[in-house]
Chains A and B, each alone.
Chain A
Amino acid sequence: MNTTPTQKTPDVQIKRRHFLAGVGGLTFAIGLSEGLITGAFAQSNDSKASLSAWVTIGYDDTISIMTPTGEMGQGTLTALPLILAEELDADWSRVKPEYAPPNPQIFGNPHPILNGGQATLASIAIPGYFTKMRIAGAQARRILMDAVAQKWNVPLSELSTEPSTVVHASSGRKIRYGEIVRFATMPAEAPKISPEDLKPANRFRLIGNKSIGRLDVPSKVNGTAQYGIDVQVPGMVFASVLESPMEGAKPDFVYSADALDIPGVLQVLPLPFGVAVIGTTVEATRAGRNALKIQTTWNTSGAVASIFDSELAKPAYERHAKDPQAKPLDHFKRGDASTSLQSANKIIESSYWTEHCYHAQMEPMNCTAHVAADEKSAELWVGTQTPFLATVVAAGILKTTPDKIRINQQLMGGGFGRRIAADIIAQTVVIANAIKKPVKLILSREDDMAAARPRPMTFHRMQAALDPQGQLVGWHHRIVAENVDALAAPPRFNARGGRDYIGWNGMEIPYYNVPNVMAEGVREIRGMRVQPLRGIGSGHNKFAVECFVDEVAIARNMDPLAMRLDLTQQEPRAQAVLQAVAEMADWKKLRQGRALGLALGEYHGTFSAGIVEVSLNKSSGKIKVHHIWLSVDPGLVIQHDNVLAQLEGAAVYGLSLALIEELNIQKGAVVQSNFNDYPVLRMSDMPEIHTRIVSSSAPPTGMGEIGVLPIAPAISNAIFKLTGQRLNHLPMSPKRVKKVIT
C-alpha cells in the first residue's frame, strides 16, 4: 500500500473502454444484488446498473481487486480481496487491493446493520461481503473461461483453472489470465453463478491459508504507509481548530491578535464549531491555537450539555431505572418477565455503572480538502469509516450533489468508531470553502479529546426471578443512557421508534435459556455527542449481563461455568467456547492469592468466552490481570492469524476500558485533555494472552468487537471470587476499587 494524493482511488466514471488495446487490462464490472446477479453487466465502469465488485486484470497478470471498506487495522484490505481472489482462482502474489469509491449502489454492504450502506464499522465487513465477493470472483473467472472455450473451440466443461491460468487438461494447453484479457469479449449479461457453483471449503487455497499475511504490513514497518495525516497536496495550507467544548457551544469572545502575531498564521476564523487558525505551517497553526485557547470564551446558551455533569447526573439516572413513568422501550423480550418477577420465589437484584470513554485512536482526527473556485465540487483526502456519508455531508455544505465530492480514502491510524462521524470532514470543508486553497486540518490531541464522541455513560438495573426449584425463570435488564443511534444513525433510530440499535446491543441474550426476558432502555437526553466505540453496546451491556449471571450463580450456589453450560444447552457454539476456555485456563485449579473469573460474549454470531486470572493490591487498589484466556468461534476463518490478532487487540482495548479509562464531564465539557490525564493501557500492564479458535462450520462472522466483551465482566467476577466484593462500576480503577474493597 502506497497511496499518494495524486494516485486517485478508481472512479466510477472511468470512460468506456472496449477491448482495452493500449490500456493494458480489462475491467470486469459485475452486477449483484442480495448476493445474486440481477443487475446489468458492463465491461466498462459507466454502467448505471447495480454494480458491486470490480476486478481489473492487466496484461502483465496483475489483478486489482476493489475493497469496499477502509483499513483501520482490522485487516479487511487483505481479507476482502482474498475472498474474491479465492473464487477467481487468482495468483495471490499478483493481487493488488484498491479502495472502492463511495458508491453504496455498487459497493454497499448487504448486512442488516447497513442494509446496503457503505461504511466500515460494527465488524460486519467479512460477514456482509463474504457471499457477494465470492460470487463476484466466480463471475470473473467464468468470463475468462468462456473466452478461452470460445477461442479454443472446446466445451467449457473441459476447462479448469490453476492460479491465474485457464487449463485444458486433455490437450495440455494453458493460458494465463493476463493473456486472456487481450482477446476476451464481454458477454451481454453476467454469467449466472449460484451458491452451488462456489468452491467447497475443502478446495480453498487462500481462505484459511496460514502462510498468507496482511498486505499492508510491510508498508507499516518502513514508514511508507500513508495515513490521512500524511497527505501533501501542492499549494496546501494548514489549519488547526480550537474545538468547541460541547455540541452547540459557539465561540463568544475571540481575541485573535496574539494568534495573528505568530509568523505563518494567515487567518483566524470563528466558526459555529470552534475557532479555526489557518497558516502556512503546522507549527504556526498549533501555536495560534494555543494563543487563542487562553482567551476564548464560549456561548453555551444553545448547548443542551452545558448543564450536564457526569457525577451530579447519576442520582437521576438511578431514579429513572426504577421509575414506572420512565417509558422504557423494549429491545429484546421473551415470555413474560414481569409476571415471572411478580410470582418469583426469590428475586435477585443488582445494578451497574459504566463511564463515558474515549476512542483514543492514535492518529488525531484530520482531513485535507480542496474546494473548487465555483464552490460546487471538492476533493477530500481522509481516512474515514464512512466515505459515502462524507460525500453527503460535504455536498450539503457546498449545496451541491454527492457525486461532485471526490474522496481519496487513506489508511486510518485507528478508528474504533471515531471515524464514523463526519464532524472533522465537515469542519475541513467549511474552512476549505472559506479560503479556496487546499487545506489540511490536524486536530491537536487536546482538541481531539475535547471533541470526543464517547461511549455513553450507562446505568443498568438488573433483576432475576428464581422459581421454587431455584431455576432462573425471569430476567429484567433496564439500561438508562443517552442513545447512540439518535446521533449516529437518526433515520434508523426513528424507524425503530426510538430504540437504540447501537447502545442497547448486547442486552439481548437469545443463547441463554431463560424463559422470560425483558431487556429495555430508558433514554437520557443530556446533549453529549455519544457515538459507537469498539465493542458497540456490548462493551457496556455484556459487563452488566455477565456480572449478573455470576451474581445469580452465586445466589444459586452454582459454579459460574456450570451455570452457563446449563443455560446454553440449546446453543452448541456457546458450549464449545465455554468448554474450550475452561480447559485452557484449567478452571477448577485454585491459585494462591489469585482468582479466576469467567464471562461469555456473543456479538452478531461470533461467540467468545474469556477467563482472567487476577490479583489485587488492597493498599493501592490496583488490580493486576496476570492471564487472559480467550476462545472464539468466528465461523469460517478467513485469515487465521488476523482472527487471533483482532482477538488479542480487542482484549487489550477491553482491558484498558475495564481498568483505566473514563472521561469526566463538567458543565458539558470533557475534563481530560491528553494521555497524561486520560491514560490508556501500556505494555507494563499487559497480561499473558492465550487464544484459541474453536472451529465451526458457521458462515464467517466479525472479529473486531468480540474480544472486548468478556474482559470487564470476567475481571469483576474474578475479584468477587477473590474478595467476596462486587465491583459494579467501570472502570475498576484503584480509586473505585478502594471504595468497595477495604
Chain B
Amino acid sequence: MSSVSFTINGKAAKVEVEPKTPLLWVIREHLNLTGTKFGCGIAACGACTVHVNGQAVRSCAVAATGIAGKTVTTIEGLSSDGNHPLQRAWVAEQVPQCGYCQSGQIMQAATLLAKNKKPTHQQIVQHMDGNICRCGTYSRIVKAIQRASKEV
C-alpha cells in the first residue's frame, strides 16, 4: 500500500492504495466522485478524462502514485455550480443522450478552450477525436464548444 496525497477539486485528499492503482478507481470508488466514467481501461475512449495540473489526461491509464502533490479536477469540480460555459452550452445544445461519455467530453473540451478561446472546426475535431460518443452526439458537441467559445 502507498499513501498518496494530492488536491482534488480544490480539497486536499489522501488515499491508501496499491501503487499501480489507476487514478480512475481512486476517484470513483475511493473518493466517490462517480462523474468520471470507466469505458475501456486502455486510454482509448476518453470517458475517464480529468485534469491533472490543468492537462486533460485519461485517468484509467495514470497510476495514482504518479499524481502525488498534483492538482486534479474532475467534472464535479469544473465549476462551483455547473455553470461553466461548456456546461451551459451542453444544456443549450441538448448534447447528452445516454450521457455516459459527456463528463469526459466536457473535461477534454475545457482544456481546448483554456488554451485557445476561438478554436476552428478543425482544431475542435483534432482535440476531441480521442473521445468516443456511442450515441453519436458529435455534431452537437462541436456546436456546444463553438457556443461556449463565444463566451470565454
Contact = CB atoms under 8 A, between A and B. Distances in A.
Contact of A413 (B18, B91, B99): B99
A713 to B, nearest CB: 18
B82 A676 contact: no
B102 A221 contact: yes
A284 B18 contact: yes
A411 B103 contact: no
Contact of B74 (A223, A281, A676): A223
B140 to A, nearest CB: 7
A668 B139 CA distance: 38
Contact of A641 (B17, B40, B42, B94): B94
A641 B139 CA distance: 14
With most chain B CB atoms within 10 A of its CB, the pick from A72, A263, A361, A683 is A683
Nearest to A414: B98
B25 A281 contact: yes
Contact of A362 (B20, B33, B82, B98): B98
B51 interface: no
A232 interface: yes
A363 B35 contact: no
Interface string A395-434: 0000000000000000111111000000000000000000
Given A413-B99, A414-B135, A675-B45, A229 B38 contact: yes
A627 B126 CA distance: 19
A222 B45 contact: no
B49 to A, nearest CB: 12
A232 B34 CA distance: 10
B134 A414 contact: yes
B94 A282 contact: no
Interface string A629-645: 00000000000011001
A664 B129 CA distance: 25
A649 B18 contact: no
B42 A223 contact: no
Interface string B53-89: 0000000000000000000001110110010001100
A683 B38 contact: no
A228 to B, nearest CB: 10
B37 A283 contact: no
Contacts of B7: none
Contacts of B78: 222
A412 B98 contact: yes
Given A264-B18, A362-B134, A680-B134, A675 B40 contact: yes
A652 B1 contact: no
B100 interface: yes
A683 B136 contact: no
A198 interface: no
A222 B35 contact: yes
A445 interface: yes
B36 interface: yes
Contacts of A223: 33-36, 74-76, 103
Interface in B124-149: 125-126, 128-142
Contact of B99 (A73, A360, A442, A689): A73
A167 to B, nearest CB: 33
Contacts of B28: 230, 282
B21 to A, nearest CB: 4
Interface in B115-130: 125-126, 128-130
Given A648-B139, A676-B42, A362 B47 contact: yes
Interface residues of A, number: 67
A413 B79 CA distance: 23
Contacts, number: 188
Contacts of B87: 221-222
Contacts of A682: 129-130, 132, 138
Contacts of A412: 98
A75 B97 contact: yes
Interface stretch (A180-188, A211-219, A315-323, A598-606): A211-219
B43 to A, nearest CB: 9
A301 interface: no
Given A223-B33, A645-B94, A362 B39 contact: yes
A688 to B, nearest CB: 8
Contacts of A222: 35, 75-76, 78-79, 82, 87
A64 interface: no
A674 interface: yes
Interface string A250-291: 000000000000011000000000000000011110110000
Given A75-B97, A645-B140, A218 B42 contact: no
A683 B129 contact: yes
Nearest to A229: B38
A651 interface: yes
A444 interface: yes
Interface string A174-205: 00000000000000000000000000000000
A368 to B, nearest CB: 12
Contacts of B98: 72-73, 361-363, 411-415
A648 B136 CA distance: 7
A689 B36 CA distance: 29
B72 to A, nearest CB: 14
A338 to B, nearest CB: 41
A221 B139 contact: no
A218 B97 contact: no
Given A218-B91, A445-B39, A226 B96 contact: no
Contacts of B136: 648-653, 656, 681
Interface string A335-374: 0000000000000000000000000111110000000000
B125 to A, nearest CB: 5
Contacts of A213: 91, 94
B64 to A, nearest CB: 9
Given A216-B99, A361-B134, A283 B22 contact: yes
B137 A649 contact: yes
Nearest to A687: B139
Given A221-B82, A283-B22, A416 B134 contact: yes
B91 A221 contact: yes
Contacts of A74: 97
Nearest to A653: B136
A360 B40 CA distance: 10
A150 interface: no
Interface string A222-251: 111111011010000010000000000000
Given A221-B91, A674-B42, A686-B138, A362 B32 contact: no
Contacts of B96: 73, 214, 216-217, 220-221
Given A213-B94, A223-B34, 19 more contacts: A74-B97, A214-B94, A216-B99, A218-B82, A220-B102, A221-B86, A222-B79, A225-B35, A263-B1, A281-B17, A281-B21, A283-B18, A362-B98, A442-B38, A645-B97, A653-B136, A675-B42, A682-B130, A688-B139
17 contacts: A72-B98, A74-B97, A213-B91, A213-B94, A221-B95, A221-B96, A226-B34, A230-B28, A281-B25, A282-B25, A283-B18, A362-B37, A413-B37, A648-B140, A676-B42, A682-B130, A682-B138
Interface of A: 72-75, 213-214, 216-227, 229-230, 232, 238, 263-264, 281-284, 286-287, 360-364, 411-416, 442, 444-446, 641-642, 645-646, 648-653, 656, 674-676, 680-684, 686, 688-689
Q: Give the top 3 A-B pairs by smallest Cβ distance, nearest first.
A: A223-B35, A652-B136, A413-B100
